[in-house]
Chain A
Amino acid sequence: MTLAAETHGFLSPTGVEIVFLLTGLVTLGAAVITVTTRQLVHAALWLVVALGGLAVEYLLLTAEFVAWVQVLIYVGSVVVLLLFGLMLTRAPIGRSPDADSGNRWVALGVAGAAAVLLVTLVVDAFRTTWIDLDEPKGTTDLLGASVFRHWVLPFEALSVLLLAALVGAIVLSRKDGGAAEEPVEDPAAADDGGEG
């Protein structure tokens, strides 16, 4: 970070900035299509484009290890999980007319107001801050040393959390345990709803 504005032109973008801008436009467009398309499977596939574009942005910011982790975990597994979820809930293949709920104009207003407010704030706050990209700052060497030296306790806690999530997902998606109890519970729940 340097504050010397005279060494950087304010409106003379370098090559990295131009590439970052173009990739950012692709990423943002894919994200917008993800949240607005009416074909549910296409939304998951456009999410792949958005997440891959973000991986390219990480590479441009010289954070290469985070970029490859992003490709492996997000593009490789999260999107596949989402596609499995879409298949298992029998999502319609073609255009579904009710992909958006009734409050989409309220949502548009909230998101637009938040975008205007935050963009104004961020541009005003970081107008004179530059990123120095001459040396890589996110190689596997540096990041591995940092994670296993300074952040090793959160790392271990995270492994416990992943184990808990694994057990929780298995318990939630088990069929026999839930099905044996539900016919007993459902009339009670319906009675409570009727009284209340």
Chain B
Amino acid sequence: MHLAYPAVLAVLLFCVGLYGVLARRNAILVLMSVELMLNAVNLNLVAFDVAFRDVLRSGQSFTLFIIALAAAEIGIGLAIVLMVYRNRGTSAVDRLRDLADTDAGGTGAAADPADPADRQDPQGAGDAAGGPATASKKAEATA
């Protein structure tokens, strides 16, 4: 078999997973896309292991290790997503903006008045208005 077939398929699967990670909003769909990217790497490892006749079978052994790692990763990831959903009431990754660097006030050391990113007052005001709403929603979800 030509080696380009599995290599090109792995590349295309990786790029599909990349699109999913960047474009999806639900955190669980982002995890699914991460699984696609890991599987693309697995296909590459198996194909090159078989092609180069590795005596240690390192490609297939690494594939087994990556599958176990992916199972651990999906368990921890889902636990984190469930905890976030329980505390915030949402699992959309673009609404978890507590650490976003858009606040106009800044913490003093990190705030630069000449920084054009700090001058976006409407966005900062919108985030400040969204802050108590999410906090109240969080308290409501915890109660």
Contact = CB atoms under 8 A, between A and B. Distances in A.
A binds B: yes
Contact of A34 (B1, B36, B94): B36
Contact of A66 (B25, B64, B98): B64
Interface residues of B, number: 84
Given A20-B5, A63-B60, A138-B60, A165 B72 contact: yes
Given A20-B6, A119-B8, A190-B131, A110 B22 contact: yes
Interface in A17-64: 17, 20-21, 24, 27-28, 31-32, 34-35, 40, 43-44, 47, 50-51, 54, 57-58, 60-63
B23 A35 contact: yes
Interface in B106-128: 106-107, 128
A169 B17 contact: no
B50 A61 contact: yes
Interface of A: 1, 8, 13-14, 16-17, 20-21, 24, 27-28, 31-32, 34-35, 40, 43-44, 47, 50-51, 54, 57-58, 60-63, 65-66, 69-70, 73-74, 77-78, 81-82, 84-86, 88-89, 91, 98-104, 106-108, 110-112, 114-115, 118-119, 122-123, 126-127, 129-133, 137-138, 142-143, 146-147, 150-151, 154-155, 158, 161-162, 165-166, 168-169, 172-173, 178-179, 182-183, 186, 189-190, 193-196
Interface string B27-70: 01101110110010011001101111100111011011101111
